[in-house]
Amino acid sequence: MTVAVEKTKEQVLKIAARMASAGLVTGAWGNVSARVPGEHLYVITPSGIPYDAMDKMDLVVVDGGGQVMEGERRPSTEIKLHLAIYRARDDAGAVMHTHSVFASALAVAGKPLPPVLEDQVQLAGGEVPVARYARAGTGNLAAAAVEALGQANAVLLANHGLVGLGRSVEEAYQVCLVVEKAAQVYAWASLLGGAAVIPPDEVRALREMFLTSYGQPGRQARGRFTP
C-alpha cells in the first residue's frame, strides 16, 4: 500500500483514540473514516474492536463501493453511512460518528440543534439537523443522514447519535466535540428559560470568517487543522 494510505491510517488511529478518551463514545461504538488523498480509497475503523486495543493493523481500507482492499478485520457496520457522505460531499475528507450524550438527547427528542454558539456555527456551519429514524448499519440510515445533512457539517441520527464531517480527521473530531458541547449548552439554556438563537446573517458571516481567515495561513493546507 502507498505512503498516503499509511499516513491516513495513522491519522485515523490517533483521532479514534482521542474520540474515545474525550468520552464521545462508549465501548467499541462509534467509528471514524478518512479519504486517502489522491486515491479512491478510504480508511475506516473496524467493527467491534475497543479503541484502547486497536492498532494500525486493525484498520480497514475500502474502495468507494465498500469492497475491502486491505485489512483482516471487518469494517465498521456503519460503512454505508460513511461512504454515502463521501459520495454526497466532495469537501468531506473525514467522517466521525459518535454516541455522545447531549447530542443523543437531542436525537432522541427529535430536535435539531439551532445555531446557539459561535464555535458551533463556525465549525458545523449552523443548525445541526436531525435525520429521520432508520436502523443502524443500514443503507436506509445512510440515505436518511445524507438527505438531512445537506451542506451542514453535522447531522443527528434519530434515537442514535451524531455524525460530523470535516476536511481533515482533526476537523471532523472538532465538529463532534463542539456539537456535543453546544447540545449540552442548549439543553441547559432551555432549562433556564430558553435559548437565544444566532440570526441567519450572523451565522453566514461567522462561517465565512472561519473559512477565510481563522487560524494561521497554510495550516489547513498541511492537513494540521487546529481551531
Binding site for Zn ion (CB under 5 A): 161
Helix, strand, coil share (%) of the chain residues, nearest 5: 45, 15, 40
- For residue 99, the minimal CB distance to Zn ion (Å) is 6
Q: Which CB, 79 or 117, lies closer to Zn ion?
A: 79
Question: Between 46 and 161, whose beta carbon lies closer to Zn ion?
Answer: 161
Which residue number, 125 or 161, has a Cβ lying nearer to Zn ion?
161
CB of 97 to Zn ion, least distance (A): 6
- Per-residue HEC secondary structure of 158-206 comes to CCCEEEEEECCHHHHHHHHHHHHHHHHHHHHHHHCCCCCCCCHHHHHHH
What grid cell was written down for 155? 447531522
Tell how strand 68-70 and strand 94-98 pair up.
Answer: unpaired
Tell the smallest beta-carbon distance from residue 56 to Zn ion (Å).
Answer: 23
Contact in structure between 31 and 58 (CB atoms under 8 Å):
no
The single-letter DSSP state of residue 75 is B
Q: Annotated catalytic residue: which of 10, 39, 78, 127?
A: 78
CB of 189 to Zn ion, least distance (A): 26
**Rounded Cα–Cα distance for residues 221 and 197 (Å):** 32
Nearer to Zn ion, 93 or 161 (CB): 161
Examine the residue annotation and report whether 78 is marked as an active-site residue of this protein.
yes
How many CB atoms within 10 Å of residue 46?
A: 19
Catalytic center residues: 78
